[in-house]
Amino acid sequence: MSLGKTEVEYISRLTQIEVREDAVDGVAEKLSNIIDLFAQMEAVDTQNVLPMAHPLDAVQRLRPDVVTEVDQHEKLQAIAPAAAEAHYLVPQVIE
């Protein structure tokens, strides 16, 4: 399967990763190769194989429901790009 310019632009928008105009063809070819690899893998029979949730064969540890964190917003906001009235500031979002 081969991806074209349209697909690359679409994926670029979804991933929020900018692809320069002169790099589109190269990216399209690389992505197509990756998808071809998936196509090859599809040939494997996975009917009775449980999808892998984690590479480690271990079980999630749980913690008791206790409040252990204290208010550190001043320290955390000191390293934020912008903050005001205890809020983190980001470029305006319009619904």
Taking the C-alpha atoms of residue 51 and residue 42, their distance in angstroms, rounded to an integer, is 14
Q: Examine residue 60 and tell whether it contacts another protein (CB under 8 A).
A: yes
Q: Examine residue 65 and tell whether it contacts another protein (CB under 8 A).
A: yes
- Local structure of residue 84 (DSSP, 8 states): E
Closer to another protein by Cβ: residue 21 or 95:
95
Taking the C-alpha atoms of residue 31 and residue 37, their distance in angstroms, rounded to an integer, is 10
Closer to another protein by Cβ: residue 25 or 76:
76
Return all residues near 39 (Cβ < 8 A) that are at least 6 apart. Answer: 1
- Of 1, 17, 41, 53, the residue at the interface with another protein (CB under 8 A) is 53
Q: Examine residue 67 and tell whether it contacts another protein (CB under 8 A).
A: yes
